[in-house]
Chains A and B, each alone.
Chain A
Amino acid sequence: MRLTGTDLTAERGGKILFSGLNFSLVSGNLLTVTGPNGAGKSTLLRIIAGLHKPIIGSIQIEEAGAVLPRAMFCHYLSEKNAMKPMLPVGENLRFWGRWLRARDYDPHQVLEAVEMAHSIHLPYGILSTGQKRRVALARLLIAWRPLWILDEPTAGLDNAACSLFTIIMKRHIYSSGMIIAATHLPLGLSATLNITLQENRI
């Protein structure tokens, strides 16, 4: 599986964020996107996830010459956690499992991977910020998707959870997954490729 970004130019609010961006990664690669606030990291991730259209350029995910549909091959985790606060944690994960048509894992197993199994019956809304993020990361495990698009995945996590997530990412990379992460914090594993976006003041 190969992901190629060709000649990407993006704008937000009438301002060009970056232009002429090219990159390409294959299974087992980790791409980190760094840069100051407002440089367009989240916009780049949204473009890769197909939620924002670049002015010029395109993203292509392909395997053996066939173009792959995003919905079946991507996990997108933004700074928001995509969980309903009034529903129990297990209920939330079960919903995403069904939505993503995953039959391999149940909520209890993926919650154990992020050490949150005790919270399975608690409403999501009463968890702390870091616990919420852990549960949101558990969503990545509930269905196998080769490409993970992560926006500040470790924001709000404590050290223990960060190293836990490093292991999860390593395991994903080794099982020929692909990760694209925008981050300010070191992720604990070395990136194959790094894109540093500059702040464009024009």
Chain B
Amino acid sequence: MKELFLRDIRVAFSSGNNLVTNLMFFLAVIITTPLGIGPMSDVLSHISAGIVWIAALLTVLLGLDQLFQTDREEGSLDVMVMGTDLLALALIVFVKCLAHWAGTILPLIIASPFFALLLNMEWAAVGATVISLLLGTPAITFIGAVGAALTITLPRVGVMLSVIVLPLVIPVLIFGVSAVYTLTTGTLTPITPLLFLLALTLFFSVLGPTAAATTFKYMSE
């Protein structure tokens, strides 16, 4: 499984992949949203965590269709799936999700503090956003794996995949943003929403790969 993780990471960081494009898209969403809201810096700093989260969510959704599609088109998915039982298949999906997260989302999270400066964010809020993204975005990948597995046989699935995945990631978004708000407003401790985020990630790290593996098994029958 380690070799699969390393291969996927190497593919994600190899030339001709979407790493830079993803970062540009992430930046583009962050830059254009304030332009649409108008020149009110207090409003902006109030909603900035939400903007970063939405931008991250959209960027992740854009790349999700690549999670299994390239492996399927090349034929490596068949070779890996051949002769595996459900549990081993779920583990393969889990490892692929981790590699996808580390290869496409982690760079976004690392870049997000710099981009957040454009939104007039306080340093504490920047820190809370980064932590909430670190804890919450794996859940998006695991949920996305189910959508990517369901739509794998369809051509150009981008939009349909987003329609399937978006409703399911609403809780992640809510707790992710509220972790930042509770910190900046000082009303409640941010620990609670962060723990909820962690719980969501752990829950979907089991459910997502299992559901995706079941889809693959069902497809071959």
- Which A residues are within 8 Å of any B CB, using their own CB? 49-53, 69-72, 74, 76, 78-87, 91, 95-96, 98-99
Contacts and interface: CB of A to CB of B under 8 A. Distances in A.
Contact of A74 (B7, B74, B82, B221): B82
Contacts of B111: none
A87 B80 contact: no
Given A51-B78, A51-B220, A80-B74, A87 B7 contact: yes
Q: Which of B3, B15, B70, B80 has the most CB of A within 10 A?
A: B3
Q: How large is the interface on B (under 10, 10 to 19, 20 to 34, 35 or more residues)?
A: 20 to 34
Interface in B186-204: none
B10 A51 contact: no
B interface majority secondary structure: helix
Contacts of B11: 84, 86-87
A81 B75 CA distance: 6
A76 B7 CA distance: 20
Interface of B: 3-4, 7, 10-11, 14-17, 70, 73-76, 78-84, 220-221
Main secondary structure of the interface of A (DSSP, over half): loop
B82 A71 contact: yes
Please provide the 7 A-B residue pairs with the shortest distance between their CB atoms, ordered closest to farther: A80-B75, A71-B83, A70-B83, A98-B3, A53-B221, A82-B75, A82-B76
A91 B84 contact: no
Contacts of A91: 7, 10
Contacts of A84: 7, 11, 70, 74, 76
